[in-house]
Chains A and B, each alone.
Chain A
Amino acid sequence: MPALEQTTDASPIGKKTPRVDGPLKVCGQAMYATDFHFPGLLYAVPVEATIASGKIQTLDTSEAENMPGVRAIFHRGNIGKISRSTLGPGFEGIVDERRPPFEDDVVRYYGQYIALAVAETFEQAKAAADVVRATYAKDKYNVDPDLKPDDEPDVVETSFQPTKRLQSERGDPDKAFADAPVKLDQTYVTPTETHNPIELQATTAMWDADKLTIYEESQGIFNLRGVLAQMFGLPKENVRVVTKFVGSGFGSKLWPWTHCPLACAAALQLGKPVKLVLSRKMMFQSVGHRPRTQQRVRLGATADGKLVSLQHDYVNHQAMLDGYHEDCGEATAFQYSVPNLRVKFGRARRHVGSPTAMRGPGAVPGLYATESAMNELADQLKIDPVKLRMLNEPKIDESLNIPFSSRHYIECLELGSEKFGWSKRTAEIGSMKRDGMILGWGMAGAAWVAARFPAEANVQLRDDGSARVASGTQDIGTGTYTILAQLASERTGAPLDKVEVVLGETSLLEGPISGGSMVTGSMVPAVFAAADNAIASLLTIATNTPGSPFEKHKPSDLGFESGKAFLKADGVDKGVPFADVLRRANIRLVTGNGKSEATFGNPKPKFSTHSFGCHFVEVTWQPEIARLRVNRIVTIIDAGRIINPLAGRNQIEGAVVMGIGMALLEHTTYDPQNGAPINSNLADYMMAVNADAPSSIDVHFLDYPDKEINEIGARGIGEIGLAGVAAAITAATHHATGVRVRELPIKIEDLLTSSVVA
């Protein structure tokens, strides 16, 4: 473990800091998107298609229109114009489902919206939506879970940019594999998974002439603003998006979905504010999911465990009209040293709503496959899986031929082994027992990209000694309010409880999307620059104010530390608090803006920037009742400097529990009889509950600053905690039961084949 860089005792950076917004949340005062109410508010409920493919022939709205309280039943004929949005520079115009709602009469997935009921109460709108009747000319649909890649060109469209299907290649992987003394060739499958934030997706829209305001639980308010401006033909300044709090998103709230323009169009037509809240069932149909993936991994190795060839060929399903790419190869090309490698993807169109990013998109299913393959190779070679990874540690990022900015994967593995007690593991299946139960131990590695998105912030210093920091980013429940308070406090010297943080408004300077675990890393330079600019203004004022102790000095003679302006010649001990400087000048506040550029998407980076980690898992297996439970997890994370260890641990623990769900429970099933995601409720789509959380989740951060990301050295955390968990659990399960599961989730029916006895 490195010695932490010295910060003053007063510095809030690296301190366990309870959430500054905690009291609001526990008192029910945090205003989530659907908590806002307006005079004349109407309620909208969408009508969903009950076929997966075909054409709407008739739509009978007559009964619905005449029901009490109903204001309108909207459909293609009367919704008005909703235009397509297109990609702009940076994060602009991004949607995963490009077709605007009601654009044509064709149904391409079960649950696609075909009409919208609007009424004075939610109950009236729901009752009306229930009696809108459609007839269809049904077409053949395809929700086949077996994914063969469609015939696509070498470069394909995705939600973001044209992408080469051959993602990475070096050496001659085919020949090296053919010649390899030890070979592994397996296919791993991850199922469709549905994000299930407890807060349902919702939009409240209202118009004032040609100005649109919406309240939505968005993970990217500026992109949402841009999309709506394009869809309704408005200047961006005329669209205001408000997202004060988000009840989790996991990626499903990153890009706008079709219910949002529907609510806006209905509000425009009716001249009233309109609120639209999705049902849980709709959350499974029309607001994205992690697509099913089928991944073939081929490893070639020497008998002593050195990788000589790695091939990763994967397929994800995509919707009929859109080009979502689940980047399972995100970490494959750099994670281990191997001279011959190929990573290539294909996609298969299905009649499903568009997939979208879900926590750790790409890398999470991808690392499940590649880390599982590493574990199987270790078993094949009879080499300890930790040792196999250490044997193949790369010196540089071999895919880009550049150094890593900060990679301490070996130390993760060493510390994890020590904390878990890995050396006591006996490799034989079913050989470890405790309290009448069989134990299984497994491990896997993790990686997640680290970079910065463009970010801007404003910082104010005020004459009451408080500070304000504002940025148009979002807190999606991860602790961004608190991080920004810590950053502003660090730089301005205002105590944490005197820092006001303002987020989630497009009237503020543009902040980053809450995606990719990149908000923290992106905000550090922006907030610091904003604070520095505010301080510079303060120091100029200090030298201009008659009677000020700094009068007649130049600003360059002054310093600022711990909230005090001081003459460099005299030192900070004789400094004056900024509030005093402002009051003497009769100025309420000084303000500064700060901006930082993106490093994400840099075509010629000097360093390869990623976070790393590993998980060590113990499962218990009771064959007499076919019960497998995760009992203990040790997780080591190398994510740069941790600004708030409390929030950081919370993120990783949550991700690990999500990983238990991924390994053992979560899967969305499309009914072959009708194409519907059939288990579209929280009883039939199972996620880990509190009782499934292991009694011990032991999280350790290495805390090496990564100065390529920002001056504090903080990368983001959140997604990295999910990467690798499922591979560690499947390995532990194999160790306990002898059953090798290569299609998630592990089910009881898989385990019943175990011949291990207690």
Chain B
Amino acid sequence: MKTFQLTKPKDGAQASAATSKAKTAQQGADIRLIAGGTTLIDLMKLNVEQPQNLVDVNRLPLDKIEATPDGGLTIGATVRNSELAWHPLVRKNYQVLSEAILSGATVQIRNMATTAGNLLQRTRCVYFRDTAMPCNKREPGSGCGAINGFNRSLAILGTSDQCIATNPSDMNVALAALEAVIHVRGAKGERAIPFADFHLLPGNTPQRETVLEPGDLIMHVTLPPLPPGSRSLYIKLRDRASYEFALASAAVVVATAAGKVTRARVALGGVGTKPWRSPEAEAVLNGQPVTEDIFRKAADAAMGNAKAQSQNGFKVELAKRCLMHALKTVTQGA
């Protein structure tokens, strides 16, 4: 770990100003915001991130969860994962979010990790995390160790020939299905970013993971209310029973009426280079009767563009089973 300066701004304006001088808000940023630190400190110890300045946002008043007038929810950037997962309104209206968060990491990590931090959670690809290895995400142009290497846990959707790193977050998968909106304060004022637009595909610039720019500060995340009759669910599949990133996961939010799907939102985890919303699966489901056949077609559609690597081809079938099981379970009795 390199030595760094730590500053503690008093408000959002100071925090934003402190980071606006950064050369980038992406991989290798010289100035970094820090909240729970569960990813950043880890990467600093590995020399993957070497910021000279850390701006601590833990004292900012961004730690509230509040109902919005329209029946939705506002979640502050520094709300801890544990608090979010156990909040009564989340348990009541957004089960998929609670389930997703509680399926990840450990109690100790969830007690530290924050909403904004989890939005920005970095990949667990072993090549990214080891500075002796090639990685286009960490060091553009150095190559990808994973494509011909240890890629069992890596992505099959949204990959490029530069990068196949998985977005490891569980929370993000739920937020994708819930169509969350991310509210950012930046150099030019505040802006609202739909969740689907927040993360970037690796393409030729895998070092760029989000649309954030220097000076941007995530203030909060809003969740729209779900239509009446909606139910939601998160299913996570992995080798062991706990403390493992998803090999495949599914977040589903489904409303039904008279045995038909009236509205479906589907997102997948563990398989994409970003939290993977599947409009293809949603298109198959909407307006169709609740049957296993339709679920199978939706799962096939979700995996239509999957590209397997040397070790992770099984994820195609696993993700299909995961999504079918989630759809079947969430529509039980419909």
A154: Cβ under 8 A from any B Cβ: no
CB distance from A713 to the nearest CB of B (A): 39
Q: Which of B2, B153, B322 is the one whose CB lies under 8 Å from A127? A: B2
A627: Cβ under 8 A from any B Cβ: yes
Per DSSP, chain A at the interface is loop
The residue in chain A whose Cβ has the minimal distance to the Cβ of B241 is: A691
B261: Cβ under 8 A from any A Cβ: no
Of A676, A747, A748, the most chain B CB neighbours within 10 A belong to: A748
Query: Given A626-B321, A671-B149, A674-B133, do A686 and B241 touch, yes or no (CB 8 Å)?
Result: no
Query: Given A127-B1, A679-B126, do A625 and B239 touch, yes or no (CB 8 Å)?
Result: no
Query: Given A626-B237, A665-B239, do A752 and B314 touch, yes or no (CB 8 Å)?
Result: yes
Query: Given A127-B1, A673-B148, A748-B247, do A686 and B239 touch, yes or no (CB 8 Å)?
Result: yes
Is A625 touching B126 in the complex (CB atoms < 8 A)? no
A126 to B44, CA, bound (A): 12
Is B244 touching A686 in the complex (CB atoms < 8 A)? yes
Is A747 touching B239 in the complex (CB atoms < 8 A)? yes
Q: Which of A624, A684, A748 is the one whose CB lies under 8 Å from B126? A: A684
Q: Which of A126, A130, A692 is the one whose CB lies under 8 Å from B240? A: A692
Is A672 touching B244 in the complex (CB atoms < 8 A)? no
Is A671 touching B241 in the complex (CB atoms < 8 A)? no
Q: Which of B47, B235, B244, B322 is the one whose CB lies under 8 Å from A130? A: B47
A50: Cβ under 8 A from any B Cβ: yes
Proximity string of chain A (124-162) to chain B, C-beta cutoff 8 Å, 1 when within and 0 when not: 001100100000000000000000000000000000000
CB distance from A664 to the nearest CB of B (A): 7
Per DSSP, chain B at the interface is loop
Is B324 touching A624 in the complex (CB atoms < 8 A)? yes
Of A126, A626, A665, A692, the most chain B CB neighbours within 10 A belong to: A626
A35: Cβ under 8 A from any B Cβ: no
The residue in chain A whose Cβ has the minimal distance to the Cβ of B245 is: A683
Q: Which residues of A are found within 8 Å of B47, using beta-carbon distances?
A: 130
B242: Cβ under 8 A from any A Cβ: yes
Q: Which of B132, B145, B153, B239 is the one whose CB lies under 8 Å from A664? A: B239
CB distance from A620 to the nearest CB of B (A): 12
The residue in chain A whose Cβ has the minimal distance to the Cβ of B143 is: A673
Q: Which residues of A are found within 8 Å of B148, using beta-carbon distances?
A: 672-673
Is A683 touching B145 in the complex (CB atoms < 8 A)? no
Is B318 touching A752 in the complex (CB atoms < 8 A)? yes
B263: Cβ under 8 A from any A Cβ: no
Interface size class of B (residues with CB under 8 A): 20 to 34
A7: Cβ under 8 A from any B Cβ: no
Q: Which of A50, A627, A690 is the one whose CB lies under 8 Å from B132? A: A50
Proximity string of chain B (1-40) to chain A, C-beta cutoff 8 Å, 1 when within and 0 when not: 1100000000000000000000000000000000000000
Q: Which of A624, A629, A678, A679 is the one whose CB lies under 8 Å from B241? A: A629
Q: Which residues of A655-709 have CB atoms within 8 Å of chain B's CB atoms?
A: 664-665, 669, 671-674, 676, 678-679, 681, 683-684, 686, 688-692
Query: Given A624-B321, A678-B149, do A689 and B241 touch, yes or no (CB 8 Å)?
Result: yes
B307: Cβ under 8 A from any A Cβ: no
Q: Which residues of B202-228 have CB atoms within 8 Å of chain A's CB atoms?
A: none
Of B150, B237, B244, the most chain A CB neighbours within 10 A belong to: B150
CB distance from A43 to the nearest CB of B (A): 14
A435: Cβ under 8 A from any B Cβ: no
CB distance from B167 to the nearest CB of A (A): 15
CB distance from B327 to the nearest CB of A (A): 11
Q: Which of A625, A671, A691 is the one whose CB lies under 8 Å from B150? A: A671
Is A689 touching B242 in the complex (CB atoms < 8 A)? yes
Q: Which residues of A are found within 8 Å of B322, using beta-carbon distances?
A: 625
Q: Which residues of A are found within 8 Å of B145, using beta-carbon distances?
A: 671, 673
A749: Cβ under 8 A from any B Cβ: yes
Q: Which residues of B are found within 8 Å of A671, using beta-carbon distances?
A: 145, 149-150
Q: Which of B149, B243, B325 is the one whose CB lies under 8 Å from A624? A: B325
Q: Which residues of A are found within 8 Å of B247, using beta-carbon distances?
A: 748
Interface size class of A (residues with CB under 8 A): 20 to 34
CB distance from B249 to the nearest CB of A (A): 11
Proximity string of chain A (351-363) to chain B, C-beta cutoff 8 Å, 1 when within and 0 when not: 0000000000000
CB distance from B121 to the nearest CB of A (A): 13
Q: Which residues of A are found within 8 Å of B324, using beta-carbon distances?
A: 624
Query: Given A130-B47, A624-B324, A679-B126, do A689 and B240 touch, yes or no (CB 8 Å)?
Result: yes
B124: Cβ under 8 A from any A Cβ: yes
A627 to B235, CA, bound (A): 12
The residue in chain A whose Cβ has the minimal distance to the Cβ of B124 is: A683
A597: Cβ under 8 A from any B Cβ: no
A418: Cβ under 8 A from any B Cβ: no
Is A625 touching B321 in the complex (CB atoms < 8 A)? yes
Query: Given A678-B149, A748-B314, do A665 and B124 touch, yes or no (CB 8 Å)?
Result: no
Q: Which residues of B are found within 8 Å of A672, using beta-carbon distances?
A: 148-149
A123: Cβ under 8 A from any B Cβ: yes
Q: Which residues of A are found within 8 Å of B2, using beta-carbon distances?
A: 127
Q: Which residues of B240-260 have CB atoms within 8 Å of chain A's CB atoms?
A: 240-245, 247
B317: Cβ under 8 A from any A Cβ: yes
Q: Which residues of A are found within 8 Å of B235, using beta-carbon distances?
A: 625
Q: Which residues of B are found within 8 Å of A747, using beta-carbon distances?
A: 239, 314
Is B317 touching A678 in the complex (CB atoms < 8 A)? no
Is B150 touching A665 in the complex (CB atoms < 8 A)? no
Q: Which residues of B are found within 8 Å of A676, using beta-carbon distances?
A: 132-133
Q: Which residues of A102-133 have CB atoms within 8 Å of chain B's CB atoms?
A: 123, 126-127, 130
Q: Which residues of A714-756 have CB atoms within 8 Å of chain B's CB atoms?
A: 747-749, 752
A80 to B24, CA, bound (A): 47
Query: Given A672-B149, A673-B148, A686-B244, do A748 and B318 touch, yes or no (CB 8 Å)?
Result: yes
Is B244 touching A683 in the complex (CB atoms < 8 A)? yes
Query: Given A678-B149, A749-B314, do A625 and B133 touch, yes or no (CB 8 Å)?
Result: no
Contacts A/B (CB < 8 Å), 7 sampled: A127-B2, A664-B240, A681-B129, A688-B240, A692-B241, A747-B239, A748-B314
| Residues of chain B at the chain A interface (Cβ within 8 Å) | 1-2, 47, 124, 126, 129, 132-133, 145, 148-150, 153, 235, 237, 239-245, 247, 313-314, 317-318, 321-322, 324-325, 328
Q: List the 5 closest pairs (A to B, CB-CB), nearest first.
A: A691-B241, A749-B314, A691-B242, A50-B132, A678-B150
| Residues of chain A at the chain B interface (Cβ within 8 Å) | 50, 123, 126-127, 130, 624-627, 629, 664-665, 669, 671-674, 676, 678-679, 681, 683-684, 686, 688-692, 747-749, 752
Extra inter-chain contacts (16) besides given A684-B150, A684-B153, CB under 8 Å: A123-B1, A624-B325, A625-B235, A625-B325, A665-B239, A672-B149, A673-B148, A674-B133, A686-B239, A689-B243, A690-B242, A692-B240, A692-B241, A747-B239, A748-B314, A752-B314
